[in-house]
Structure 1
Amino acid sequence: MELSEAMRTTGTCRHYSDEPVPDKVLYDAFDVARFGPQGGNRQPVRWIVVRDEAKKKALADLYLPYWEAYYAAISDGTKDVGAVPKTIRSANEFAHNLASVPVLIVVVAELAGLHPTDAELDRLSVVGGASIYPTMQNLCLALREQGVASAVTTLLCHEEPAVNELLGIPEGYLTAAHIAVGYPRDHFPTKLTRSPVEDIVSIDEFDAPMFR
């Protein structure tokens, strides 16, 4: 598979078959993912593969209340996420069936390995994620190459202390995301909807489109 095809078709999968994902498939994906860029080559990312049914259910039980609150806000018009109703329904089904996904991967990062140069700015600090999320996306792409789908969620990060206790994550680590992994029930997308290049790229100044 060409890299560009993998990048264009690695969407969020919300419906999975019950076919197990072999350890070899996961190993090969992790082997590629670890080469993602990170500050100072500190390699802060660790992965916890959760197959145990009881632990998957515990994670799903922690996840669902946050999804329900989010879903309720969308349903009553309090929150506008810009998604079409079909996508919202699909996400709701995903949330209620999270425990049945073949594999849940918890993305963990060592705090000492992050260098958030924006921590003192008067806004949300995001720079530390630059040493985490490229590696995570590498994993999703490496899985896609092998015909395995994924869905990244961060809602469970609300419950970091409970997740730490459940999975024995030591102090000094944060949970950056949780990834559902499995073979797709249906098929991979052939065309993801994204903003055109003309709308998102400027030159020299924010309001100067580079491409017209």
Structure 2
Amino acid sequence: MTISADELLTTTRSVRKRLDLTRPVPMELVRECLELALQAPTGGNAQLWHWIVVTDPGKRKAIGEYYARSWNAYYGSGSSARSLFKDDPARAAAQERVSDSAAYLAEHLGEVPVHVIGCMTVPAGLPEGNQAGLWGSLLPAAWSFMLAARARGLGTAWTTLHLAYESEVAELLELPANVRQGVLLPTAYYTGETFRPARRQPLDEVLHVDRW
């Protein structure tokens, strides 16, 4: 697949309903994407990240069950995407679509052929207060993985809902106590043709130069 940098950046979407749940993803393709992800910036060049690639059907099923439980609680709380921007018909319609696709992923996560979980080693435990420096050393690499996957015909979705059961998932995957999870990236070939840029707020509504 040949794709320009601008197209890659504007058409890498969170893929949920269009993940191909039946087509295996070669591990070498996942490795290619992770090799590129490791070129992302990391604070102090410490490279404290770790990547758990889950392909075992039983473990994926178990993660999917925790994820569905977390989604049900999140949706029931009234704070999901569907509840946002109800007074704006144009944005409300988009939120409905996002919520529907998120519900689909919650129902089928365990069937997605590859789960990539980005983690950080935290020898002294999670810091109190501002944790931007810690997670800022992981999340750019996770996004790079998503971009690399998109360029290779794979779909991904950025999600953290499983973290409501982080300790249970850590036990399932035998993670050391000083390794904390930051993001779950379900990964599969996507169905359909391609993706278009998403409708976003106009830049001038969110841009501030020198002051608010």
TM class, shorter-length: 0.7 to 0.9
Shift in CA distance, 108/147, structure 1 to aligned 2, threshold 3 Å: same
- Correspondence for 2:61 among 57, 62, 65: 57
Distance 2:30 2:40 in 1: 16
TM-score w.r.t. the length of structure 1 is 0.86
Residues 193, 55 of structure 1: CA spacing in aligned structure 2 closer, same or farther, 3 A cutoff? same
Residues 45-92 of structure 1 show CA distances to partners (whole Å, capped at 9, x for unaligned) of: 1111111110001001111111012222349x9x82345322211211
- Partner residue of 1:7 out of 1, 9, 13: 9
Deviations 1:169-205 (A, max 9, x none): 0021100011110011234321212222212221110
Percent sequence identity over aligned pairs: 28
Query: What is the RMSD computed on CA atoms of the aligned residues?
Result: 2.2
Question: Hey, what's the Cα distance between the residues in 2 that align with 1:62 and 1:3?
Answer: 36
- Normalised TM-score (structure 2): 0.86
CA distance in 2, matches of 1:54, 1:5: 37
Select 2:23's aligned residue among 14, 19, 22: 19
**Does the alignment pair 1:34 with 2:42?**
no
Is the 1:74–1:81 contact (alpha carbons within 8 Å) kept by the matching residues of 2?
no
Deviations 1:121-144 (A, max 9, x none): xxx643321101001101000111
User: 1:62 aligns to what SS in structure 2?
Assistant: helix
Q: Is the 8 A contact 2:125 2:178 kept in 1?
A: no
Residue type at the aligned position of 1:56: R
Unaligned runs of 5+ in 1: 207-212
Unpaired stretches in structure 2, ≥5 consecutive residues = 86-93
The equivalent of 2:164 in structure 1 is 158
CA contact 2:121–2:179 (8 Å) conserved in 1: yes
**Alignment map for 1:128-167 (pairs within 5 Å):** 128-167=134-173
For the 8 Å contact 2:43–2:133, the answer to whether it is kept is no
Q: How do residues 106-145 of structure 1 correspond to structure 2 at under 5 angstroms? A: 106-112=117-123, 119-120=128-129, 125-145=131-151
Task: Pick closer, same or farther for the CA change 1:115–1:62 going to 2, 3 Å.
Answer: closer
Give the SS at the match of 2:187.
strand
> In structure 2, the residue corresponding to 1:190 is in which secondary structure?
coil
Query: What SS does the corresponding residue of 1:30 show, helix, strand or coil?
Result: helix
Equivalent pair of 1:39/1:115 in contact (CA under 8 Å) = no
Q: Does 1:172 align with 2:178?
A: yes
Q: Distance in 1 between matches of 2:125 and 2:175?
A: 17
* Contact 1:114/1:128 (8 A) holds in 2: no
User: What residue in structure 1 maps to residue 198 of structure 2?
Assistant: 192
Task: Give the conservation status (yes or no) of the 8 Å contact 1:108–1:173.
Answer: yes
1:112, distance to aligned residue in structure 2 (A): 3.8
Structure 1 residues 113 and 151 mapped into 2: Cα distance closer, same or farther (>3 Å)? farther
Match of 1:48 in 2: 52
Cα distance in 2, alignment partners of residues 127 and 193 from structure 1: 30
> Helix, strand or coil for the counterpart of 1:188?
coil
Bigger drift between 129-138 and 12-21 goes to 12-21
8 Å contact kept, 2:157–2:187: yes
Q: Number of residues paired by the alignment? A: 199
| C-alpha distance in 2 between matches for 1:162 and 1:187 | 37
